[in-house]
Amino acid sequence: MCALQVNSLASLETIWSKRPLIISGPCSAETPAQVRETAIQLKATGKVDLLRAGIWKPRTKPGLFEGVGKKGLPWLQEARQETGLPVMVEVATAKQVEEALAHQIDVLWIGARTTVNPFSVQEVADALKGVSVPVLIKNPINPDLELWAGAVERVERAGIKQIGLIHRGFSTFGQTPYRNAPLWHLAIEMKLRFSSLLFINDPSHICGRRDLLSDVMQRAIDLDFDGLMIESHINPDQAWSDAAQQVTPQELDAMLRRIIWRSDDSNSSEYHSALDQLRQQINQLDEEVLQLLARRMQVAEQIALYKKENNITILQAGRWQEIMERTLARAEQLKLSRQFITQYLDALHMESIGHQQNILDGNAAG
Ligand code: PEP
Ligand code: MN
């Protein structure tokens, strides 16, 4: 057991610095055979560096599958022995940390539902004191970088040296095609703040559905993430958790083949140019601005329905004046020119009136 541990830790150092680092495995460990078979098939792709599997699954509501618990830990040990893949599990309590370490789990990760709670993160951090194990920290469910940064600091203060970040998207307002909106600009800000940490993208929990995975994987690689964590299952549709987003190891292999890997060569000016990265951010921000504008129009339409019921005019000069004054004052603080914001507000107002007029004319909100 001891020799095995030393071997796997030595190879872990190499794995930690491999680019791109590919983590895969089922959302949840379900049965010994499922863990074993998934590990073997992932190993056979030759592309996977680390095997993930959830043993303890934090679920929003009780009564759903909450993971097999510690009895799954030996399954992972066996999968590691059989394939040589280091293994990682999610931990949310001190007891889970102790149990995972007692079973020589190579890497731990803190899930999005834990990162939101500083008490839980501190409990995990305290259990990590004096231990040498790599820890990956997912972003919190809500788009709050301070919570994410706080979790990193707690784990750092516990003395953990190998820390990584996992970007798995955020719960947000409005509708997006994603289960968790990527909000790439937040991920990029975090990457810039903690530039020495490993930075992994988790397309599975961003997408929530397998048909979107490839695009998000490519975007993450284009944004210079260090690696990807993608959920895989030997029989995805039958998975006990997150069935819609999992893919077979063979599908994963095919998706990884399709990715355009940017050159790691520092002479490759295109990929490494700051301009390229900034343009990606601009595209993403434009997309988010558009979504916000669409959402704003939807709210205006809801207001129009009330106005219609109560026979009130669309144009209410007093209210618009108030919006203008407030926005212009805020724009000045944000160093946006008065001229630009005035034009923007005029255009916004006209569009909003158009949407409201449609409602008053009896056209249903789209
Ligand atoms: C998971 O990785 O299976 C998981 C529960 O993810 P998250 O914490 O991102 O929801
Ligand atoms: Mn999952």
Cα distance between residue 319 and residue 156, in whole Å:
50
- Which residues, including other chains, have CB under 8 Å from residue 246's CB and lie 6 or more apart? 26, 27, 204, 210, 231, 232, 233, 236, 239
Tell the CATH topology of 2-258. Answer: TIM Barrel (3.20.20)
Q: Is 155 helix (H, G, I), strand (E, B) or coil?
A: helix
Predicted pLDDT of residue 183: 93
Mean pLDDT by 10 residues, the chain (366 residues): 42 88 98 98 97 93 92 98 96 98 97 98 98 97 97 98 97 89 93 95 98 97 94 98 97 97 62 76 91 94 88 81 93 93 93 90 64
Among 168, 206, 228, 229, which is best to mutate for testing ligand 1, by the most ligand atoms less than 8 A from CB? Answer: 168
Say which residue the tokens 């559905």 belong to.
209
At 235 the pLDDT is 98
Q: Which ranges in the chain are annotated with CATH 3.20.20.70?
A: 2-258
Q: With a threshold of 0.85, does the pTM exceed it? A: no
Residue ranges, comma separated, of all CATH 1.20.59.10 domains in the chain are 269-360
- 58 CB burial (10 A radius; 0-12, 13-18, 19+): middle
Separation of alpha carbons 107 and 104, rounded Å: 9
269-360 adopts what CATH topology?
Chorismate Mutase Domain, subunit A (1.20.59)
What pLDDT shows up at residue 123?
Answer: 98
Residues whose beta carbon lies within 6 Å of some atom of ligand 1: 27, 54, 111-113, 138, 168, 205
Per-residue pLDDT at 271 = 59
Find how far residue 172's CA is from the centre of its chain.
Answer: 12
Cα 48 to ligand 2 centre (Å): 18
The C-alpha R_g of the chain, in whole angstroms, comes to 24
